[in-house]
Amino acid sequence: MSSHLVVEHLEENLEDDPALRFPPALRVPKESSSVHQLRQVSVAEEYRANLARKLLETHSHVDDEDGLEIERRFCRPVCYPRVCTTGYAPVRMMNTGDEVVLALTDDLDTGDSHDGGQFPPSSRRLALAGHFLFRTMAILIYFFCTWFTSSFVVPFVLVLISLSLDFWFVKNISGRILAGLRWSSYTDEEGHTRWRFDSRPAAPEPAEGVTLTRREVAARAAQANAARLFWIGLVVTPVVWVVFLLASIFTLHLRWALVCGIALCMSGVNLYAFCRCSLADVNQNVLSSLQAKVARQMFTDFWSNLTKKPATGAGAGGTGSSVGKTTLEA
- Is the model's pLDDT at 263 over the cut of 90? yes
- List pLDDT tens digits, range 71-128: 565 554 444 333 333 333 333 333 333 333 333 433 344 334 444 456 778 888 899 9
Query: What's the confidence (pLDDT) of residue 193?
Result: 86
- List pLDDT tens digits, range 29-49: 444 444 444 445 555 566 666
Q: CA–CA separation, 97 vs 313, rounded Å? A: 62
Closest CA to 133 of 181, 158, 155, 165: 165
pLDDT category of residue 204 using cuts at 50, 70 and 90: low
For 195: left if phi > 0, alpha if psi spans -120 to 50, otherwise beta; the answer is beta
In this prediction the pTM is 0.51
Q: CA–CA separation, 161 vs 138, rounded Å? A: 8
**CB contact burial 233-253 (16+ within 10 A = b; e otherwise):** bbeebbebbeebbeebeeeee
Q: CA–CA separation, 257 vs 301, rounded Å? A: 64
Q: What is the amino acid identity at position 199?
A: S
Query: What's the confidence (pLDDT) of residue 156?
Result: 93
- List pLDDT tens digits, range 130-171: 999 999 999 999 999 888 888 889 999 999 999 999 999 999
